[in-house]
Amino acid sequence: MKKIFFAAVMALSILSCRENKADNSPADNVVDNAGSLVSGSLKSYRGDEVTVNSIYFKLIKNDKNLTALNTKIADTFEETEKTLAVYRNILNTSTSYYQDAHLQIKSITDSLVRQQVEKEITASSDQYDLKVKNIKERMDLINKNSETLTSLYTAFKIRKTLPEIEKYQHAHPLQKDSLDHFINKQNKLLEELKNLK
């Protein structure tokens, strides 16, 4: 279940990039403008925070190669989900049938007939499992490849956006002077309150 959720989140983040390509506002600082690019679905999840994805989507807007890469990955995730959904549906139909058949056995009152039918169901189920073993192995490999793709693409996005957050930090240096001034102001007020009778 975690794998499906993770893949869904990844696909959502990649697909939301497609929604953001239309924004053509000029950007002096990618990070300062990144928050406005997060899609509605991601905003509900992360608020207006600046995230790796929001910065990356801003970079994509200005880079045809990154846009092409993101589109290729998004298309792969969409195709993967469509392909696996067909196979899952067929496999789940058979699994559901065999589960129901095992439940229905309980209504057979003749114990010899019940045992014979149970053997027939088990034999059919085992035969089907052998028939689809290679299919399930390939589906598992596709899922594993999707996880690896997600992992590598996440690493790529982080590496691509780290210089942007560093530029932002350099453009917005933090000075302690105003904080010291405010602390002094607070201390004076605290002293004034302590001296009141």
In a domain, 115, yes or no: no
State what percent of residues in the chain have pLDDT above 70.
Answer: 76
Q: What angle do CA 39, 42, 48 make, to 5 degrees?
A: 85
Q: What is the largest CA-CA distance in the chain?
A: 97
Range of the domain at 17: 2-83+140-195
In a domain, 37, yes or no: yes
In a domain, 20, yes or no: yes
In a domain, 39, yes or no: yes
In a domain, 92, yes or no: no
Q: What is the pLDDT of residues 4-50, one digit of tens each?
A: 544 544 554 555 555 444 343 334 566 766 654 433 333 434 456 88
Mean pLDDT value across residues 150-166? 95
Q: Provide the number of structural domains found in the chain.
A: 1
Integer Cα distance of 137 and 143 in angstroms: 10
In a domain, 103, yes or no: no
In a domain, 33, yes or no: yes
In a domain, 123, yes or no: no
